[in-house]
């Protein structure tokens, strides 16, 4: 266990339970943990992915590393997982070995948490029956795939529908998540929509929005859910209109080579720069020098959706206009025609027209950027974390 020496115990004790903590694409989770000041927070995880970048900061981390140890390779692991799922189907509950159950019971007895925040519905379904049986109220935090692609699976969706109404609370980041839970029996009063927020004091001022030629920016994993290939097609269409524009792509992922090849094929390889994954400090520099932000999010073939795209919110918080899609919670982040321009999913032609419009109109970019910063300022991270703490404190006090 690692602990920040400056951390000061605050009652009540709370757990943040998650399979992996410190994942680069989940910086919002580290921000949540770091800003909780009314709770004595302890992160309980099976893997602390990057302690150097996402270490303790006013909270402690216990990397317990006991995720159902199984010998015999991947097939043996899958067989054991299915067996534990079948054995626990009535409770919708804990898929683990007896050894792991004992380990968690010992942790609860030693630490006596008053409430547990389980990140991702998949993890809440797995952990809630055990934790509630040990007297720990559970609040589940849903983030995207756990109420999109995951609910296509019968075991998970049935377990979630059966157990979620009994939890102390559910936190969602988008309206479609609330709708699913209400439609499956959850009390609306115990569902709390709390987007992650943006650390506005850390965001740069995008003071080159009006510069020509326009430099568009895309930041994120190059995955089917974000369809970076369609953003490149949109840029090519923008260029066909005569607009002088470039696209910087920050991030890597399984679609990188496909996107590089597509840029060559469309004749825009000299206008698209693939920068790979970059630290947040460099991302902020790119945001500061960009003219607009681009992200073509779609529902992936497996049903996966965005939750509350942090990259879009951060760009808006810095004063960039947004060009994106009517997908998941993005229309809740972007006012079409006011803070940015939206198109339907997969409609790269309309996105290309939006890029051309912004590339040709520096004043429009600037006015949309100002409006976007004003809108997103309502979601400053510290305020959002306070709302989350309120939910956890209410659950802890109600159970007392």
Q: What are phi and psi of 195, to 5 degrees?
A: -60, 155
Q: Do 68 and 97 meet the contact criterion of CB atoms below 8 Å apart?
A: yes
Q: Do 226 and 296 meet the contact criterion of CB atoms below 8 Å apart?
A: yes
Query: What are 194-230's pLDDT values in tens digits?
Result: 999 999 999 988 888 999 999 999 999 999 999 999 9
pLDDT at 380: 96
First to last CA, the chain: 27
pLDDT at 246: 98
Of 341, 321, 339, the closest CA to residue 210 belongs to 321
Q: Do 163 and 128 meet the contact criterion of CB atoms below 8 Å apart?
A: yes
Examine domains 2-197+380-399 and 200-379 and report if their fold is the same.
yes
pLDDT at 6: 52
Q: Would you state the structure tokens that stand for residue 232, as one six-digit string?
A: 């490149």
Helix, strand, coil percentages in the chain from 3-state DSSP, rounded to 5:
45, 20, 35
Integer Cα distance of 47 and 36 in angstroms: 21
pLDDT at 104: 83
Largest Cα span, the chain: 68
Q: How far is CA 115 from CA 55, 111, 191, 246, in A?
A: 22, 11, 16, 49
pLDDT at 70: 46
User: What kind and span of H or E run contains 133?
Assistant: helix 121-133
Reading across the β-sheet that carries 292-294, which strands appear in turn? 272-276, 245-250, 214-219, 292-294, 322-325, 340-343
Of 105, 100, 114, 93, the closest CA to residue 42 belongs to 114
Integer Cα distance of 268 and 264 in angstroms: 6
Class of domain 2-197+380-399: alpha beta
- CATH 3.40.50.1240 assigned to domain 200-379? The reply is no
Per-residue pLDDT tens digits of the chain, which is 400 residues long: 555 545 544 469 999 999 999 998 899 999 999 999 999 999 999 899 989 889 999 999 998 865 554 445 556 655 655 665 565 555 556 555 677 778 888 999 999 999 999 999 999 998 998 899 899 999 999 999 999 999 999 888 999 999 999 999 999 999 999 999 999 999 999 999 999 999 999 998 888 899 999 999 999 999 999 999 999 999 999 999 999 999 999 999 999 999 999 999 999 999 999 999 999 899 999 999 999 999 999 999 999 999 999 999 999 999 999 999 999 999 999 999 999 999 999 999 999 999 999 999 999 999 999 999 999 999 999 999 999 999 999 999 997 6
Q: How many CA atoms lie within 13 A of 197 on its CB side?
A: 23
Exposed e or buried b for every residue in 66-95, given b needs 16+ CB within 10 A? eeeeeeeeeeeeeebeeebbeebeebbbbb
- Alpha helix stretches (DSSP H) within 143-279: 154-163, 175-183, 228-240, 256-265
Domain ranges of the chain: 2-197+380-399, 200-379
**pTM listed for this prediction:** 0.89
Crossing angle, helix 362-376 and helix 348-359, to 10 degrees?
Answer: 110
């Amino acid at each position: 266990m690692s602990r920040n020496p400056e951390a000061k115990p605050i009652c009540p004790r709370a757990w943040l339970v998650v399979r992996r903590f410190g994942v680069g694409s989940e910086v919002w989770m580290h921000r949540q943990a770091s800003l909780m000041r009314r709770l004595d927070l302890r992160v309980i995880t099976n893997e602390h992915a990057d302690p150097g970048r996402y270490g303790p900061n006013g909270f402690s981390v216990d990397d317990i590393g006991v995720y159902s140890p199984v010998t015999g390779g991947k097939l043996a692991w899958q067989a054991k997982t299915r067996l534990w799922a079948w054995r626990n189907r009535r409770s919708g509950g804990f898929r683990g070995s007896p050894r792991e159950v004992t380990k968690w019971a010992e942790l609860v007895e030693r630490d006596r948490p008053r409430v547990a925040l389980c990140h991702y519905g998949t993890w809440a379904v797995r952990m809630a029956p055990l934790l509630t049986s040990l007297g720990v109220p559970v609040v589940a935090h849903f983030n995207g795939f756990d109420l999109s692609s995951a609910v296509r699976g019968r075991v998970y969706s049935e377990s979630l529908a059966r157990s979620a109404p009994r939890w102390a609370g559910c936190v969602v980041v988008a309206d479609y998540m609330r709708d699913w839970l209400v439609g499956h029996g959850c009390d609306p009063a115990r569902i709390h929509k709390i987007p992650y927020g943006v650390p506005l004091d850390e965001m740069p001022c995008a003071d080159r929005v009006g510069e020509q030629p326009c430099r568009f920016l895309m930041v994120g994993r190059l995955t089917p859910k974000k369809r970076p290939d369609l953003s490149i097609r949109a840029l090519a269409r923008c260029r066909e209109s005569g607009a002088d524009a470039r696209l910087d792509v920050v991030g890597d992922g399984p679609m990188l080579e496909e996107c590089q090849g597509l840029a060559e094929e469309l004749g825009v390889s000299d206008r698209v720069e693939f920068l790979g994954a970059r630290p947040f400090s460099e991302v902020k520099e790119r945001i500061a020098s960009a003219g607009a932000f681009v992200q073509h999010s779609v529902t992936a073939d497996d049903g996966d959706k965005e939750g509350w795209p942090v990259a879009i919110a951060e760009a808006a918080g810095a004063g960039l206009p947004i060009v994106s899609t009517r997908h998941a919670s993005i229309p809740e982040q972007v006012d079409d025609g006011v803070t940015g321009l939206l198109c339907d999913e997969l409609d790269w032609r309309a996105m290309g027209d939006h890029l051309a419009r912004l590339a040709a109109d520096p004043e429009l970019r600037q006015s949309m950027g100002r409006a976007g910063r004003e809108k997103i300022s309502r979601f400053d991270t510290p305020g959002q974390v306070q709302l989350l703490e309120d939910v956890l404190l209410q659950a802890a006090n109600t159970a007392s």
